[in-house]
Amino acid sequence: MSETNSSNMSSHPAFELLRTQKIDSLKVEIQEYVHLQTGAKHLHLAADNDENVFLVGLKTVPQDNTGVAHILEHTALCGSERFPVRDPFFMMIRRSLNTFMNAFTSSDWTAYPFASKNRKDFDNLLSVYLDSVFFSSLDPLDFAQEGHRLEFEEADNTESNLTYKGVVYNEMKGAMSSPVSQLWQTLTKYVFPTSTYHYNSGGEPEHITDLSYDDLIAFYRKHYHPSNAVFLTFGNIPAEQHHEKFEQLVLNRFDKQSEEVVVTDEKRYFSPVRVQESYPVNSADELQKKTHIVIGWLLGHSFNLEENLEAHLLSNVLFENSASPLQQALETTALGHAPSPLCGLEDSNREMTFVCGIEGGEVESTQAVEDLVNSVLEKVASEGVAKERLEAVLHQLELSQREISGDHYPYGLQLILGALSPMIHGGDPVELLDLEPVLENLRKKIEDPEYIKGLVRRLLLENPHRVTLSLRPDASFEEQREKSLHAELAKIKAQLSDDEKQHIVSQAKALADRQCQKDDETILPKVGIEDVPLALNFPESCQFSATPDIQTYSQGTNGLVYQQIIVDLPALTEEELQVLPIYTSCLSEMGAGSSSYLDIQNKQSEVTGGIAAYSSVKGQIGDEQKVSGYVIFSGKALSRNSDELSKLMQEIVLGVRFDESERLKELVSQIRAKKEQSVTSNGHGLAMGAATSLMSPVARLTFSLGGLQGIKHIKKLDDCLSNSEELAKLQSLLSSLHKKVSTSSRRFLVIAEPEKVNDAAEFTSKLWSSIESIDHQQFSLSPVREQVKQGWLTATQVNFCAKAYPTVAIEHEDSAALTVLGGFLRNGYLHRVIREQGGAYGGGAGQDSSIAAFRFFSYRDPRLEETLTDFDRSLEWMLTEEHEPSALEEAVLGVVSQIDKPKSPAGEAKSDYHSELFGRTAAQRAGFRQRVLSVTLEDLKRVAKQYFNPEQASVAVVTSPANKDVIESLGLEVNEL
């Protein structure tokens, strides 16, 4: 770490350099600036990385539940001063080679980030983003589309019923269908009784309809100003060049804002609060053991680094793994099914919140849960925690600081998001990014055995700002909510004058006309096929000379080593196959050899960044009906712990035991809870999985193990494990499965820094050299290619629709055209009719060559039958309309940008290795990319005509029980989740 005096640095004249600081562990130099005229802050993370990232963040402080900040985030992206087109954000997605584009609304900030490896593309996106944020058009019709509006159910019939529409309205109906989302919003409502966090910044559906257009404009004028903004950048573009753009495009038109936007501290409780509220479930059958009981404490400022790290230390001590005292107590208690998904520390707000509790309990157990938590905290406060456990927690913090991630978000964006919160709240972002000095200070503090005891007392036991919430199930909740909504709409309609009715009709027509208008896209900047790199770059691998079964990759992993053991999946019985996901989920969570599961948890924490297992089954590149499969054991560690990681992985892989019966029951309950929570956030994925469930052997397996059928199975299994015979049967199945897997043929993957990779591979080679394997009968699945028509009922306020058609595997000459067709249909038709006109949060289509299927989907959709019809109409549109070559280019760019999307150094190596494992060689991947670049409009029309026979369509929807009659009328088989 080094710091440079700002007087020695040059910068753009409109900006003052405040300081620079190198952080070696992150491989960045941080440069902090302020814009002299407006006070806007800029934090630049200079790095030798061509994936440049930009984010502008604004402090947004809602004072109600109307979702004003969220609706503004959507509406701001619907046109601006320089780019007065209706939908510049989505239009730029398809005119770009971006590696990331989005916008976020958090509790007290709104952010607009993007990333690109192409400099021309970066500048294009920067110009559109800056204009959208600071000079947004905010058309009233866009507010009606994105926020909320009234329409008659029959467009021209003013005697028909009224309904609410709007993208955010439906998005939040979907988001707030999740019990966990309701739990968090309800808890924060009470933990923060007076500040902005009291409100749902995304918007409560019942309150979104209270927001007026004038409210939106007033909020924009107050909050979307450079004086209230922070700019963050990452990559190899110099800060001065960013400043030139910021100044030229935005900042020279503003002066300093007179009124500062303030996030106030919360008023403190002087004694704990206990509250009870309800959430909806499908039926009275679901009332038993469905209550969430959580306790939340308000802690100190998140931007005070010492307070932040102390809170993280305490949270990790109590919750890091199953050997941690509070995690262990909540996992093993009979008061609930599993620890609450809210357990842990939330530090993104101005003030931190610590939460613990259980799900799957009863309201009557609230006091018992409080007593259990307090007893654990009292024990820690009086007895302390073993020093090696504290060292293990600091080891995890060090590892997370060092790891170069970026397989989900770009690495630079992850760093930027870490710095954003302290910049918004008035803290020091540089200090928060450079954890090394603070970690060193904490290492000294934990030498004092009284330190952790004092933390527990000060932050939790003696902290009166505590809320205990019981969120119980209510089978009549949804019915009452629907009655209230219908009564409200009926009352509004009864009070409408003829002129007001006509205004609703006129607005609906004006919006429909606006949605169908053809904008002049040429005013938007773009990249073209000519800007696409000619070839893909693939990481280089080597076979370790001593052991051909070991493949190594030398990658810049910043001091980490990644190891995998890849085992050939042997032939399994149907029963063994059904418990495969339980086996992989539980493998690193059980005891092994002479070590208990608690011992294994502690060992993992002390020397690794985690060990996990998963199965991977894929069809051949030329035939989706022929499959191969593997079980992968994966781990990571700091290089100094590489040998210990190898030994621990071997201990688990060879010696895992399933005889800890209570532990196994706990884990199954936790798996069930996570699966049930996934439904409303991944309803579209589950619907597509159901629609394609008989398209190929892999699709059928995925549906039965991890899809909707898999969720039903894990619920049934969890319910029967109280029977000792059923539990013994599961233990026997897992043991027989493990015996096959642990003795099956294996190979190894090692990824590390160039100077470390051979040492790691050599140790692995010696460790496994004497361990023999058996050539088991090869894993296979029966061929399948059938139609599906299913409707799945669950507690949701919105729908998830899917339709699928059988197509071809990836090596077929038509796979590239089908892949491009998905983006073409989304860009040109589905986005408009499903999202903008239909009001769904999202919708689209895509080719899945791994299962040889083409899938349509909608996400958080208020419609059902109409959406399924729109899927068909998109194909008619493709075949009957004349299309512009530019539309093809945009669809091709979208596919190529996904193919070329960078990963972390370790992620690139893993992806390359596993692609090769399944026959997707570098040559095959490069060839497919080239075929995508060569797709023509004639190809799209040809495959659209050839592969989409309505008689072969499979359909699946996830919807509410209220739509049971609808799905029956569509000829769908009814299933209850």
Residue 750's nearest CA partner among 938, 579, 564 is 564
Q: Where are the domains of the chain?
A: 2-148+167-177+206-260, 273-474, 541-768, 789-976
Q: Spell out the SS3 assignment of 626-678.
A: CEEEEEEEEEEEEHHHHHHHHHHHHHHHHHECCCCHHHHHHHHHHHHHHHHHC
Spell out, as residue ranges, where the chain has pLDDT lower than 70. 1-10, 285, 406-407, 546
CA distance 98 to 94: 9
The dihedrals phi and psi of 48, each to the nearest 5 degrees, come to -80, 70
Domain 789-976 has CATH 3.30.830.10: yes
| Contact in structure between 262 and 114 (CB atoms under 8 Å) | no
Spell out the long-range contacts of 536-543 with Cβ–Cβ below 8 A and sequence spacing 24 or more: 536/899, 536/900, 536/922, 536/925, 536/926, 536/929, 538/912, 538/922, 538/925, 539/905, 539/908, 539/909, 539/912, 541/909, 541/912, 541/913
**Residue 956 has what DSSP assignment?**
E
User: Which pLDDT does position 2 carry in this prediction?
Assistant: 41
CA distance 404 to 401: 8
The domain at 273-474 falls in which architecture? 2-Layer Sandwich (3.30)
β-strand partners of 171: none
From residue 75, alpha-carbon distances to 58, 69, 139, 451, 706 in Å are 15, 10, 8, 50, 36
> CB-based contacts of 970: which residues, under 8 Å, 6+ apart?
789, 791, 865, 868, 955
**Residue 861 has what DSSP assignment?**
B
| Contact in structure between 761 and 552 (CB atoms under 8 Å) | yes
DSSP string, 88-122: HHHHHHTT---SEE--EE-SSEEEEEEEES-HHHH
Run of H or E residues at 940: helix 937-947
Tokens of 843: 């919708």
Q: Locate tokens 């193919």: which residue?
A: 899
Number of neighbouring beta carbons within 10 Å of residue 723 = 10
Range 45-57 burial, b when 16+ CB lie within 10 A, else e:
bbbebebbbbbbb
Cα 640 to the center of its chain, rounded Å: 31
Residue 378's SS3 state is: helix
CA distance 900 to 933: 13
Residue 955's nearest CA partner among 849, 865, 829, 838 is 865
Q: Environment class of residue 588 by beta-carbon count within 10 Å: exposed (0-12), middle (13-18) or buried (19+)?
A: buried
Single-letter amino acid, residue 565: I
Q: Locate tokens 């936790």: which residue?
A: 670
**CATH number for the 2-148+167-177+206-260 domain, one of 3.30.390.50, 3.40.50.300, 3.40.50.11140, 3.30.830.10?**
3.30.830.10
| Pairing, β 954-959 against β 789-793 | parallel
From residue 291, alpha-carbon distances to 335, 364, 544 in Å are 10, 10, 54
Tokens of 643: 């040998």
How many CA atoms within 13 Å lie on the side-chain side of 602?
Answer: 16
**CATH number for the 541-768 domain, one of 3.30.830.10, 3.40.980.10, 3.40.50.1970, 1.20.1440.130?**
3.30.830.10
User: Which pLDDT does position 6 carry in this prediction?
Assistant: 42
| Contact in structure between 959 and 793 (CB atoms under 8 Å) | yes
pLDDT digits (tens, 9 = 90+) for 650-705: 999 999 999 999 999 999 999 998 898 888 889 999 999 999 999 999 999 999 99
From residue 702, alpha-carbon distances to 615, 671, 695, 849, 917 in Å are 11, 16, 11, 15, 19
The dihedrals phi and psi of 325, each to the nearest 5 degrees, come to -60, -45
Tokens of 878: 């493709």
User: Which pLDDT does position 24 carry in this prediction?
Assistant: 85
**Residue 778 has what DSSP assignment?**
B
CA distance 900 to 121: 14
Helix (DSSP H) and strand (DSSP E) numbers for the chain: 36, 29
CA distance 499 to 158: 11
Q: Environment class of residue 829 by beta-carbon count within 10 Å: exposed (0-12), middle (13-18) or buried (19+)?
A: buried
**Are 273-474 and 541-768 the same fold in CATH?**
yes
User: Which pLDDT does position 406 carry in this prediction?
Assistant: 66
CA distance 313 to 317: 6
pLDDT digits (tens, 9 = 90+) for 232-270: 999 999 999 999 999 999 999 999 998 899 999 999 999
| Pairing, β 746-752 against β 550-554 | parallel
CA distance 155 to 866: 14
**Residue 528 has what DSSP assignment?**
-
User: Which pLDDT does position 4 carry in this prediction?
Assistant: 45
Radius of gyration of the chain (CA): 28
How many CA atoms within 13 Å lie on the side-chain side of 797?
Answer: 24
Run of H or E residues at 688: helix 683-691
Residue 545's SS3 state is: coil
User: Which pLDDT does position 407 carry in this prediction?
Assistant: 67
User: Which pLDDT does position 5 carry in this prediction?
Assistant: 43
User: Which pLDDT does position 7 carry in this prediction?
Assistant: 39
